[in-house]
Amino acid sequence: MEIKNLIEQGRTALGIEFGSTRIKAVLVDENNAPVASGSFAWENRHVGNIWTYSLDDIREGLQGCYADLVREVKEKYGVQLTTVGSLGVSAMMHGYMVFDKHNNLLVPFRTWRNNTAAYAGDRLTELFGYHIPARWSVAHLYQAILDGEEHVKNITFQTTLEGYVHWMLTGRKVIGIGEASGMFPVDPVTKQYNPVMLQKFNELIKDKVPFRMQDILPEILLAGEDAGRLTEEGAKFLDPTGNLKYGIPLCPPEGDAETGMVATNSIKKRTGNVSAGTSIFAMIVLEKELSRAYPEIDLVMTPVGDLVGMVHCNNCTSDINGWVNMFGEFARLLGVDIPKWKLYDTLYFEAEKGDKDCGGLLSYNYVSNEHVTNVEHGRPLFVRKADSNFNLANFMRCHLYSAFGALKVGCDIMLKEEGVKLDRITGHGGLFKTERVGQSFLAAAIDAPVTVMQTAGEGGAWGMAVLANYRIKKRREESLERYLDEQVFRGQEGVTIAPDPADVAGFEEFAARYVAGLPIVREAVYSLK
């Protein structure tokens, strides 16, 4: 009854996040505890060599996800959801959405998954002295300009997926600073688009397009700032039944990387988080800028504008999943049907018994390309010498180490070459579901304590709901860091594992072998067509 009253009175916050395969909504109470959720499965399309979602896909997915949430609220609490206290939208990072003066989408949405702007990203990296990944919005734009695409001359607005949805809900062309920093580099002092780089880019494109870059980008907002209210049209865009009331305040839209930082309380300097699932990425909040640009490290920002070093790797658990599935298939041949969770737990726990350096075994989990290690196409490999200690424990340990292999290459640049200090890192995602194993191996890989928290499992939609709550609860003097510490995570249970020196030494041996063996997998790209 208490939750029912909160829902009826609108004393809740709603976070919605567009993932690659699922859109999720989480409704939380005033203390950020989840009270209901909804989801909608969707898949990107490969159209004209571009990975995309249509505007109909986006609208139908948003409405389907919200309708699923409304259904759960009705079933659990017997009440029709008609309002919330605040709302926020998040989505997969960056990509390319451009519109003309009539608000028409000029070309299909190009998602982060497209690597078609790599050449432009490299040229801009040289121009700026600042790493510009291929998935960033400015790289997509410059590639379209270089390719002479007809639509470019008609662009009046460029945004990202969550920026588009927020625009449809509020009519405001704004973006959170974390996502903004992946559209175009942002100055960490002024919290606005970098003026020196804007000038360089405008000079580069002045004879090719009729606009300046700053004129087509969305306005930057920090966490807690007013990002508008749900309009009457926006309410119908989210809930075509007409039951949802308009006027709800919204927080700035943010990317999934930023909601992951919030969901793991990793926005302080010298903290970070590692998200480990199909792909893996580490985000470490920096105390100062790096000494130079590194192709392995993206520089983005927290939702309040602090600089973050990000190592994003395309591969993590897919190769392990393939091996685990094969072991399950073998078990079924013997007439034993082992639950999937037990297969993972059994094999992961066996990995703990392996040699600290995996007995000389080596694997590469590259189901797809891996830019951090300069491997252009996916070629999963398992390699050993004749005298390697080949047993199940070492085999599984090797594949779990490999899941962190490319990540360690990038993290070592920050932690060893740049001397970045790291007090704590939080792990979240599927690789950490089995107690202790992945967590202790990550601690060994980065030689730092790793914490896994219960709330991390709630994901980015929950992190977005927290940002929505912060939008209406923020006191003038209260920072997001303080709000998370005192209002969200106080008393939350978490398990921290410190790095074991023997594991650290063993992982260093494996990492040296991993780097030395990279020519093997690169050769496989050319030899195995």
Q: What is the pLDDT of residues 406-420, one digit of tens each?
A: 999 999 999 999 999
Angle CA 337–341–342, to nearest 5: 60
**Is residue 159 assigned to a domain?**
no
Q: Note whether 443 and 454 are same-domain residues.
A: yes
99-128 mean pLDDT: 94
Q: Note whether 398 and 507 are same-domain residues.
A: yes
**Is residue 245 assigned to a domain?**
no
Domain total for the chain? Answer: 2
260 and 308 Cβ atoms separated by less than 8 Å? no
**Is residue 465 assigned to a domain?**
yes
**Is residue 89 assigned to a domain?**
no
Angle CA 148–153–158, to nearest 5: 105
Q: Note whether 441 and 369 are same-domain residues.
A: no
Q: Note whether 307 and 326 are same-domain residues.
A: no
Structural domain boundaries enclosing 362 = 318-406+502-527
**Is residue 255 assigned to a domain?**
no
Q: Note whether 397 and 507 are same-domain residues.
A: yes
pLDDT at position 276: 87
pLDDT tens digits, one per residue of 323-373: 999 999 999 999 999 999 999 999 999 999 999 999 999 999 999 889 899
Both structure tokens of 295: 């192709």
Those residues whose C-beta lies under 8 Å from the C-beta of residue 205, and which sit 6 or more positions away, are 142, 145, 213
The rounded distance, in Å, linking the Cα atoms of 47 and 50 is 5
pLDDT tens digits, one per residue of 438-470: 999 999 999 999 998 865 455 789 999 999 999
Query: What sign does the dihedral 71-77-83-85 (CA atoms) show?
Result: negative
Q: Note whether 331 and 479 are same-domain residues.
A: no
Containing 108, the helix (H) or strand (E) segment is none
Q: Note whether 339 and 391 are same-domain residues.
A: yes
DSSP 451: E
Which CATH number belongs to the domain containing residue 486 in this structure?
Answer: 3.30.420.40
pLDDT at position 81: 97
10-15 mean pLDDT: 96
**Is residue 169 assigned to a domain?**
no
pLDDT at position 12: 96
**Is residue 523 assigned to a domain?**
yes
pLDDT at position 476: 62
Centroid of chain to Cα 225: 22
Q: Note whether 311 and 322 are same-domain residues.
A: no
Angle, nearest 10°, between helix axes 118-128 and 137-146? 110
C-alpha gyration radius of the chain: 23
Those residues whose C-beta lies under 8 Å from the C-beta of residue 458, and which sit 6 or more positions away, are 26, 34, 263
355 and 506 Cβ atoms separated by less than 8 Å? yes
**Is residue 175 assigned to a domain?**
no
166-188 mean pLDDT: 97
Both structure tokens of 451: 């914490």
**Phi, psi (deg, nearest 5) at residue 461:** -65, -40
Those residues whose C-beta lies under 8 Å from the C-beta of residue 332, and which sit 6 or more positions away, are none
192-201 mean pLDDT: 98
pLDDT at position 275: 87
Q: Note whether 429 and 486 are same-domain residues.
A: yes
The rounded distance, in Å, linking the Cα atoms of 83 and 192 is 33
Q: Note whether 344 and 483 are same-domain residues.
A: no
